[in-house]
Chain A
């Protein structure tokens, strides 16, 4: 594909270029919907399409009033605060537990490895609506199952901050497990043995030798977990109450009930966030590959 040989026939040339055009169109399909949002969010009118003023690049056609609305409207601000309160805690929970488990899973002799792995990955595979249904039932009335019947617990998790955090942490765990185990594949075990040989305890070895090397994987797993929670709407819709209304929830109700152009401003901000995240993850991936290249595999 890289380059057309000089002896190519007209048909081959035609195919070569039309294939590129087709690919260009598909790339356009992928990226255009996201990019269209950005100029539309600066619309001075409350419309969802380009006004004639915007098309003629008249400055009067553009304004930042939807952004102002986002930063002053109490509903949106509450949603933003909730999102920022829930996602980091859920991420912390899934990263700390997930990293430990990934290290455990990467040992050479783990009984029931496949079954454990399948269980840990399942929150990613089970459709969100099913997870949300189950969590809604169970969190509203948690119990301990025993052979003699249920022992009902005297509290409820639905509509609480803790409930939403637990649910989101569970959803983020598969991503941490996948990225960290992938990083650990390239981890040279003789390094930990060398550290132990030189007198370091397991804790020192973990924090001074292993952790710095697998850190890129841990951070990118954490970013995945963060974006999962930050972006999640189905589970929070079921498990949370109005007090836990997050940004995606507010967008969801906005899109379903009275659609306001403020959503486009929020969307643009979120696109900026995702570009930043993409950038960080790419950097981490390259760094991790470089580190891996240094150690013999």
Chain B
């Protein structure tokens, strides 16, 4: 199956926030009243009910001038996603399109994904069941998997009026990003294409005007080492050890039945 990606050229973004509105609208997400963030930014970061946030960064560039940097921020849809790795219920999974999505039926709201996401994107939403009892589910951007499956563009991209975002074949989007990078290097010498290899590459390909850290992004994000040793080693070895000691005691029991002689044990207790 072809791989898709969301292309985001932050240098073309004018900060209109239509992507945020469109996302809320399509995904039927409730409004979240927020305190003043100290800038034009509406929310501190993405949340369980606000799947994309336009971040406004006031940055002093090398020549001492103010640079007003905008970035459409949402789930990166990592190719090797830490959230998928740590999910104990297989709720966080890769869709057929390769997007990272939550299966609400399976999610138990444990929050392992929340703590292990290298981009701090996943959060738990609190709901109430019909008895008034609260329960939690992990929520985040789905890359509008439901729309893509119907042959539509993700909601955020469909409304972008400056052409800062595009959706399509992943390789083409990477090429487009590289081409765009060459165009803007003169104006933004620190510009980079952000497609971090530590998480197997992402399905959001960014053209950033400045270093990732300027945007509050990790320079070298990766699946936490702790998550790898936990899920790939500790858990299977732990299960094997329990099996091993269980086998040992069963072996001991059987062996006693076969080899034990009454008189030998007499007075020989340790």
Q: Do A and B bind each other?
A: no
| Interface residues in chain A, defined as those with a beta carbon under 8 Å from any beta carbon in chain B | none
